[in-house]
Structure 1
Amino acid sequence: MFWEILLRIDSMVLMGMVTTAEASNLRRLVMDHKVSVAEVFNDTLQKSDAEILAELRHFSERNPRNGFHIVHVCTEMAPLVSVGSLASYVTGLSCALQRKGHLVEVILPK
């Protein structure tokens, strides 16, 4: 999914919508926040380059670089291991923290 956004950024450079420096920063943003970017840009093929550029700029403003690195160690996580209510809670919490700009990892036992 994120590769589509990277290709669209390249096309914006070729069309003169962004400078190469801004495109480099946008590419870095996409690569650093793959999961949260995928949640925000779930329908990239249906949007124009101008719409995607506006959303990328908005996304970069609300995702500060000083987010925390959060590690959850638990026994369940939806959809991988879902026995009780803990799985959906861990998934929901992790997604919410990622949307706030934090790097979230979930460690599950083998």
Structure 2
Amino acid sequence: MADITPAELKQRQAAGEKPTIIDVREPWENEEGRIEGSQNIPLNTLPQKLEELEDLKDQEIIVHCKSGGRSTSAKAYLTQQGFMQVRNLLGGFQAYQQA
């Protein structure tokens, strides 16, 4: 599934959409700033949280981190686990803040 730009995500949010957004940064990073409506699941805890995400296997999931590295890993992992519509937020939270 193609990744998503910060501008596209902001446009969708402005139109009232509420996509599933998973922040794979550490909790302290999330406390410093977050995307409204996002759920914080640090990358290293994703395997333990898979069962909670099971209902989202066929739905769009947008993953993000600070700049895109960890979320690229999260996208690859979730895709390997059968999640079909995982998108990475290009440039991460930093790019989102500037968009």
Instruction: State the TM-score, normalizing by the size of structure 2.
Output: 0.22
Return the structure number with greater relative CO, CA threshold 8 A, min gap 6: 2
1 or 2, which has the higher helix percentage? Answer: 1
1 or 2, which has the higher strand percentage? Answer: 2
Instruction: State the TM-score, normalizing by the size of structure 1.
Output: 0.20
Which structure has the greater CA radius of gyration? Answer: 1
